[in-house]
Amino acid sequence: MARATFEGPILSGDNRFGPLRNVGYSQLVQNCDIDVSNTTSGTSTFGGSSGNFVNSNTIPNVISPVYTPSSTVYPSVLQTLPADSATNVYRGCVFYLPTGADLDDVFIDMATVFAVTGGTAALTSVQFLVSNNYTAAAGTANYFTTGVIASGSQAVGRQTLSAFTNTQILNQSATSTDILQANGQPNLSQVVVTIALVGTALGTRTGLTGQINVTLRYTQPDNNIGTTTTYPYGNFD
């Protein structure tokens, strides 16, 4: 079965002309499955490691750079993520999107609750934060967030997002320019899902478990709308 990659928004409908034009956008998805007990890069559910988030662009998860978001600095500056400490462990995944994408939803599905074993380690809480950058525990995420979930209150299934703030709603409607590229390549938005694990004596742990499936649903912007060009109002077949 053949595959094709389209550069530009995917539109569909059966009436492309006039005031009753019914063409709409096709939603796009990217997803990443993370098992924090899997520490082998290049495998399907690799969950990262201390100071390393992942992406699934190569299908098996691999370590992914996280850049300091900027619409003016080139080349983009690689960010140093916090290493595991006695009180905080961070894991996460990174998605790259067209600048100005409309974020329609994020689904965070917990397959296995998060836990620590060994030593005197104890897990206090878990939180999921979706932003254009790594986000510290209980921090402010640009796009989506869940509440702080007490360790004993975790439940398998789809996690509930917190009520959106006005700023988050505006940010969701058009993702920021975070990564600049050269040679005419399009600039990118960076969407980072941070898993913030908070506890005590985490440095003594011998085991870390927990698995989530993250699906980001979005619409690519159409930069031709509102211009004097005919596309997409009357493009040729």
Percent above pLDDT 90 for the chain: 78
Determine the average pLDDT of the residues in 202-225. 92
- Say how far apart CA 46 and CA 207 lie, in whole Å: 15
Is residue 235 pLDDT above 70, yes or no? no
Is residue 134 pLDDT above 80, yes or no? yes
CB 102 within 8 A of CB 170: no
pLDDT at site 124: 98
- Say how far apart CA 163 and CA 86 lie, in whole Å: 31
pLDDT at site 236: 44
Q: How many residues does the chain have?
A: 237
Is residue 2 pLDDT above 70, yes or no? no
Q: What angle do CA 152, 156, 157 make, to 5 degrees?
A: 135
Residue 151 DSSP SS3: helix
Type of residue at 121: A
pLDDT confidence of 49, banded at 50, 70, 90? very high
pLDDT at site 217: 97
> Which candidate, 213, 220, 219, places its Cα nearest to that of 107?
213
Is residue 229 pLDDT above 60, yes or no? no
Q: Which residues contact 53 (CB under 8 A, 6 or more apart)?
A: 63, 64, 66, 81, 90, 91, 92, 93, 94, 134, 192, 194
End-to-end CA distance of the chain: 24
Q: Over the stretch 136-186, which tens digit does the pLDDT of each residue have? A: 999 999 999 999 999 999 999 999 999 999 999 999 999 999 999 998 889
Determine the average pLDDT of the residues in 100-125. 97
pLDDT at site 225: 64
More confident residue, 111 or 56: 111
Please write down the HEC assignment for all residues of 53-102: EEECCCCCEEEECCECCCCCCCCCCECCCCCCCCCEEEEEEEEEEECCCE
pLDDT at site 59: 83
* Predicted structure pTM score: 0.91
Residue 127 DSSP SS3: strand
